[in-house]
Chain A
Amino acid sequence: MAIYIGNNPASGIHIGTSQIQQVYVGQTLVYSNNGYVAPSPTPTRTPVPTPTPSAAPNMGVVIQSNTANFDACADWNGLDGNATDVGTNGISSSYGTYDQSGNIWEWTEATVGSARVFRGGNWQYSVEYLSAAYRNYNTPNIESDMNGGRICAYTNPLSLSNMVLVGDVNNPADNTGFGSVSYTYYIGKYEVTNQQYTEFLNAVAKTDTNALFNLSMSNTSRGGITRSGSQGNYSYTTKTNMSNKPVNYISWFDLARYCNWLHNNKPVGTQTASTTENGAYDMSQGIVSRQSGAQYFIPSEDEWYKAAFYKTGTNAGYWEYATRSDSAPICIGASSTGSGLTS
C-alpha cells in the first residue's frame, strides 16, 4: 500500500498537519483528497425460496439435494472425512458448476498482500465456510489435503469438456461487493481432478523441476497420485478410486502452471517457458498475475463468486450457497469408493 502525504492542509485524512492525498490498496485507489473513490450503490439481497432442483447428469447420479461435502461427514478409505468424487455431492450452481460449496478449498487469483484467496470451504470445515460470506487466504505455496482448484477460460480454445459458460455480463455485485463480471467466460464444471493432474504430470514432470508433484499425494491416504521411476524418468498414476477426486496438495503456483500447460496446448517436455513457465502466467514474476491473452487461468475471485452464487438473469441476485440455496446444505456421506452419498 502506498500512502502519499501532502503539505496542503484541507479536509480529509491528516497525519499531524499533513494531509494524505491518495491511499492505494494494492493497485486500487481507495481514497483521494479530491473525493472518495466510491463504489456503485449496494444492491439488496431478496430472499428467494429454494427452487425445485433439476436433474444434474453427473457420474450417472441424479443429484437433487441441497447437500455438500463438509464437516468431515464423508468418511471413506478409513478416514474421518475426505474429498469425494467431483459432481456427486450436491446440486449444481445456477450455471451448472459443482462443489463450489465444499469438497476442497479452491484457489483464486485474488491477493491479500503476498497471500492468495481461496473460497468454498472444504471436506473438513464447518458449514459457514461454504457460504458467500467467507473468504480465506494463505501463502500461495501452501500444499495441503484441503485445497485445490478449478480453471477458467475466455473462449475454451481446446474445447475442453466440462466447462460451463457464464454469461449475464455486467451483472451487479452482491452485497459483499463480489461477483460482478463484465464479460462472458467459461469455468470448470468440476474441480481439477487427480486424473487430469496426472496427465499434466506425465507430460511435463518426468523431471520435476518445480515440484509439481508433492510426496504427500503418494504417501498419505488423502492424496491421489503415485510416482515411480527416478528424476528424468518419473511417471505418475492415479490411485485406485482417486481418479475423479479433486487433486489436492497443489499450491497456487502448481495450479498456475497447470493453466500455462493448457494455454500452451498440453505440450510434452521439460518445464520451460513453452510448457509451464509462461503462457497465462509468467512464473518468473514476483507477484504472478494473469497476462493479456491468457487462454486458461485460475478464476478471479469475482469470476469464481459469480459462477458459484449468481442466480442468472438481469439483476437476479445471489444465493448464499453454491447449491442454489439460501439455506445451509446438509453434509453428505460417502460410498465405500468415495462418491458422495446421501444418507
Chain B
Amino acid sequence: MSNHFVQIQNLTLNTGFVVKIYSIEGDSNLPTQDAIDLILDILNAQQYPRGIVDALEVFTGVAKIEVYDSNNQLLLSSFRDLENN
C-alpha cells in the first residue's frame, strides 16, 4: 500500500477518542476548517468509531480517517484506496 496520505486534522473528542483525518497528497480540494468545526459536536456524540467515519467520509477531500481510543489503540481506519485501480 503506497497511497500518500497527509494528515490534516487531529481531533480529541469528549469520549477520549482521537480522530486523525487525512487527505491525499497534492489534493487541493480539502475540507474546510468550518466544515470540520461544524461536525465536531456530531463527532462528540458518537460512541462508536463507525459513527465518526460515517460523519466524516462524506466530506470532499477526506481520504482516510483513523479513530484511536484513549490508549492510542487504533479502533478503525477507513481509507480511499487509490492503489487498487
Could you count the A-B residue pairs with CB atoms below 8 Å apart for me: how many are there?
Answer: 98
Complex interface residues of chain B between 56 and 85 (CB less than 8 A to chain A): 57-58, 74-82, 84-85
Contact A28 B54 (CB under 8 A): yes
Q: Does A136 contact B (CB under 8 A)?
A: yes
Point out the residues of chain A lying under 8 angstroms from B79, CB to CB. Answer: 134-137
- Identify which of A36, A112, A144 contacts B45 (C-beta below 8 A): A36
A136, B3: Cα distance in complex, Å = 12
B60 to chain A, nearest CB (A): 9
Contact B54 A137 (CB under 8 A): no
Q: Does A12 contact B (CB under 8 A)?
A: yes
Interface 9-residue window, one of B4-12, B18-26, B34-42: B34-42
Point out the residues of chain A lying under 8 angstroms from B39, CB to CB. Answer: 23
A173, B49: Cα distance in complex, Å = 11
Contact A39 B54 (CB under 8 A): no
A303, B45: Cα distance in complex, Å = 25
A147, B83: Cα distance in complex, Å = 12
Point out the residues of chain A lying under 8 angstroms from B42, CB to CB. Answer: 13, 23, 30-31, 36
- Identify which of A39, A105, A126, A134 contacts B51 (C-beta below 8 A): A39
Point out the residues of chain B lying under 8 angstroms from A177, CB to CB. Answer: 48-51, 76
Q: Does A115 contact B (CB under 8 A)?
A: yes
A135, B53: Cα distance in complex, Å = 10
- Identify which of A31, A113, A135, A147 contacts B78 (C-beta below 8 A): A135
Complex interface residues of chain A between 4 and 28 (CB less than 8 A to chain B): 12-13, 15, 20, 23, 25-26, 28
Contact A12 B77 (CB under 8 A): no
17 interchain pairs (CB within 8 A)?
Answer: A12-B41, A26-B58, A31-B45, A36-B42, A38-B45, A42-B47, A112-B58, A134-B77, A135-B53, A136-B80, A137-B79, A138-B80, A138-B81, A138-B82, A138-B85, A142-B85, A177-B49
Could you list 8 further interchain pairs (A-B, Cβ under 8 angstroms) beyond the known A15-B38, A39-B46, A137-B79?
A: A13-B42, A20-B38, A23-B55, A25-B54, A26-B58, A133-B74, A135-B77, A138-B81
